[in-house]
Amino acid sequence: MFQIGPFKIDSSCVLAPMAGVTDAPFRRLCREHGAGLATSEMVTSDVRLWKSSKTQGRLASLKQEHQPVSIQIAGSEPAMMAEAAKQAVELGAQIIDINMGCPAKKVCKKLAGSALLQNESLVADILTAVVNSVDVPVTLKTRTGWSPDERNGTRIAGIAEQCGIQALTVHGRTRACRFEGQAEYDTIAEIVGQVSIPVIANGDIDSPEKAKQVLENTGAAALMIGRSALGAPWIFKQINHYLATAERCSDISLDHKLKTVSRHLKELTEFYGEIKGARIARKHVRWYLGESASAKKFLKHFNTLNTSQSQTEAVVAFLSRPKSHEENVA
């Protein structure tokens, strides 16, 4: 349990914002499996672009979400970021998260996301403008710095605290490291020691044991899980159980998997419509099934299916099939 402004977050494990992944159906699934918070995919701070169907989709139905609703915004102009924060709050955001962690070229070439870490005074201007523009808590997602030679994450954390940021997520890599190498938990621990706002540790947490180790080694208030939740929304429940008892909970049953995947596909269709929902379902099903040869073969057929019902029937039949000897020993 930790606190972001007035909100008590009842699990110390939260879902990472992931563009193209953490849409409303996936956020709901993760919250119901024990994620304490599920921030939206990032939206641009250029509110003129919010009319696009992509952003409309990202901002749809916020008022029906699990609370608190956290919206991530990305941009580099303090006034635009402040306006975007205001409008996000009008649409239902109860927390505004600022993205200074994303290394994607599309984001960085506009000097947003983690590219901002190069310019500390601009960071301060953006954070101040956003904090002053809304009455809800503002959080920041950042990295340990711009590059291994300029690991300024600790200074950025200090600036964030001074500007009124109420919680800080740190992905334990520099911008230059993108997703390579090991997450540096030592730098996260250093940041935790420097600030008194809650710090959420992020990067490569892929098991309940690793989660406990990272919490203990960094002293962070909470953990953020990204890639390990793909095809495994139950990881939050597993981590919460382990943190509470130091024991693994029982394996996720086939019945629970079938129900979760079926519901996920149904909700994708309800949210996006039949055609787009079925297309988006393909990547999630690939994550649910993993990398085995039989899964790869099945996906070739699955990816030709265009309706939620045919997809659900196929995936349920595949997951329920008796396993061959080779699959059992693999």
Ligand X SMILES: Cc1cc2nc3c(=O)[nH]c(=O)nc-3n(C[C@H](O)[C@H](O)[C@H](O)COP(=O)(O)O)c2cc1C
Q: Return the active site residues.
A: 102
Count Cβ atoms within 10 A of the Cβ of residue 325 and give its class: 0-12 exposed, 13-18 middle, 19 or more buried. exposed
What is the CA 263 to chain-centroid distance, rounded?
20
Residue (266 or 283) nearer to ligand X, CB: 283
Amino acid making up residue 216: E
Positive or negative torsion for Cα 296, 297, 303, 306: negative
Residue (285 or 305) nearer to ligand X, CB: 285
Binding mask 261-290 for ligand X (x = CB under 6 A): ------------------------------
Contact 76, 84 (CB under 8 A): no
When binding is defined by CB under 6 A, the residue of 17, 137, 198, 233 that contacts ligand X is: 17
Shortest approach of ligand X to residue 320 CB, angstroms? Answer: 29
Q: Is 170 in the site for ligand X (CB under 6 A)?
A: no
- The Cα-based distances of 88 to 44, 96, 271, 281 in angstroms read 11, 8, 20, 27
Stretch that binds ligand X, among 76-84, 85-93, 96-104, 190-198 (CB under 6 A): 96-104
Token pair listed for 237: 């429940």
Residue (19 or 289) nearer to ligand X, CB: 19
Query: What's the CA gap between 66 and 69, in Å, rounded?
Result: 7
Query: What's the CA gap between 111 and 74, in Å, rounded?
Result: 10
Q: Is 28 in the site for ligand X (CB under 6 A)?
A: no
Token pair listed for 15: 């879902």
Query: Which residue, judged by CB position, is nearest to ligand X in the bound state?
Result: 226
Q: Is 208 in the site for ligand X (CB under 6 A)?
A: no
Q: Is 239 in the site for ligand X (CB under 6 A)?
A: no
Strands 95-100 and 138-145, bridge-based pairing? parallel
Stretch that binds ligand X, among 118-126, 209-217, 226-234, 261-269 (CB under 6 A): 226-234
| Interface with ligand X (CB under 6 A) | 16-21, 41-42, 72, 99, 101-102, 141, 171, 202-205, 225-228
